[in-house]
Amino acid sequence: MNRHAQPNLFSNQPEHTPQLSAPLAARMRPRSFEEFVGQEHLTGKDRVLRKSVESDRLSSMIFWGPPGTGKTTLAEIIASFTKSYFAPISAVAAGVADLRKVVDEAKKRQKTLGQRTVLFIDEIHRFNKAQQDVILPYVEGGVVTLIGATTENPSFEVNSALLSRSRVFTLRALAEDEVKTIVLRALADEERGLAREKVELERAALDHLASMANGDARVALNALELAAAAVTLDEKGARPIGLAAIEDALQRRSLLYDRAGEEHYNIISALHKTMRGSDPDGALYWLGRMLEAGEDPLYVARRLVRFASEDVGLADPQALVIALAAQQAVHFIGLPEGNLALAEAVVYLAVAPKSNSLYLAYGRVQEDVQKTRSDPVPLHLRNSVTGLMKDLGYGKGYKYAHDHEGHYVEQQGLPDALKGKRYYEPGELGQEKAVKERLEKLRGGG
């Protein structure tokens, strides 16, 4: 079979051409750069990716971006444009044997036909190190040109050796106007779309669909197709889709979130930093993004406890109490009721006075513990439990604070080598201001 007989995306593999029975999202897959919507920073005529493809200077690459933004489509367009054999596999289902089979066929194809093979690995982050290592020598040797697709940060999920031999291109979530363009194209297309079914989408329904798709063209097209199948013909033989039909098809927004991936760390970082910045609105939003996407509420509670000690500290000692109470409430009543306990803690921590004095103090302690000698405890701080210990001077010279005015007496509390060292330096906000004033008075500074 001549794999280049038809000048379109699927010309080199006509058996993969979507049939009318295929989902709308598959049928409407773009066949060229001109049909591709979005990612202008990559597909624009003067951009590096497109220029390298059009000049047939193809190198291995990783496409990193949210679902439904065109990673697979771009790989197919590239393979078609460069007249390469397109060999797609999914890292979810494939193993080393599948990889070796693709490589063996690529070698034969290269030798007999002189044709390049584009090895497209969808969800490449699902491959473990050993599986990724199998690909490496064939990428280096030019047996295959790798195009990997991932929703996870390739810096964490792709082997450094493989990553160093690939160009990473970042895809962005589609804008609402771009989603609308894709939807309207599907409505108008008689060959692959819904034009023959006379589907009519109300403006309010289109706006809602574009918003709730969350930048994912596949979600939008799947919901459109589902809604079209559910509505009945009107007296004119058309299928009018209103807002209610789209809402029913979508049910709820698909939130971009991976409890083990980069977005997980991005959002918990945003929660932490908005609380630190005393922004209760931002903090509540990021809390909601985590909880509504299915994050473990006890994980969030643990982070709040840490924040209470690290960023609020003694500026408001009640913060730690509130954070621990939220953890207990979530553990006791679960979700969804426990969400409010976490929300209460988040707002309290966000508006509380801030201090990282304890965090810095303990960091200084850690440094000295690691870098200085483990000097013995001064004798006066030791308990003389036995007669021998008493004879050796244990406890000698210890001053009992309660016997002195103000229940305070100055005495050495550190080993001799660290005598006089200051670790804790209180801040100026909240209750810590009073702590600072008391310490200055006790230390003779006020």
Residue carrying structure tokens 């596949």: 218
Count the Cβ atoms, other than its own, within 10 Å of residue 297: 23
CATH architecture of 14-170: 3-Layer(aba) Sandwich (3.40)
Q: Are 183 and 216 in contact (CB under 8 A)?
A: no
Count the Cβ atoms, other than its own, within 10 Å of residue 87: 20
Q: Where in the chain is the domain with CATH 3.40.50.300?
A: 14-170
Q: Where in the chain is the domain with CATH 1.10.3710.10?
A: 357-442
Tell me how far apart the alpha carbons of residues 326 and 152 are, in angstroms, rounded to a whole number: 31
Give the end-to-end CA distance of the chain in Å, rounded to a whole number.
Answer: 93
pLDDT in tens, the chain (446 residues): 333 333 333 344 544 456 667 889 889 999 999 999 999 999 988 898 999 998 888 889 999 988 888 999 999 999 999 999 999 998 888 888 888 899 999 999 988 888 999 999 998 988 888 888 888 889 888 899 999 999 888 887 888 888 888 899 999 989 999 999 999 999 999 889 998 889 999 999 999 898 888 888 988 999 999 898 888 888 787 889 999 889 888 875 555 555 555 677 788 889 999 999 999 999 999 999 888 877 888 889 999 999 999 999 999 999 999 999 999 999 888 878 889 999 999 999 999 999 999 989 988 888 888 888 888 888 888 888 788 877 788 888 888 888 888 887 788 888 888 888 888 888 888 888 888 888 888 877 44
CATH architecture of 262-351: Up-down Bundle (1.20)
CATH architecture of 176-250: Orthogonal Bundle (1.10)
Q: Are 84 and 116 in contact (CB under 8 A)?
A: yes
Superfamily of domain 357-442: DNA polymerase III clamp loader subunits, C-terminal domain (1.10.3710.10)
The first and second tokens of residue 223, run together, are: 């919901």
Q: How far is CA 324 from the centre of its chain?
A: 26
Q: Where in the chain is the domain with CATH 1.10.8.60?
A: 176-250
Q: Which of 371, 355, 372, 358 is nearest to 424 (CA)?
A: 358
Q: Map residue 274 onto helix, strand or coil.
A: helix
DSSP state of 308: I
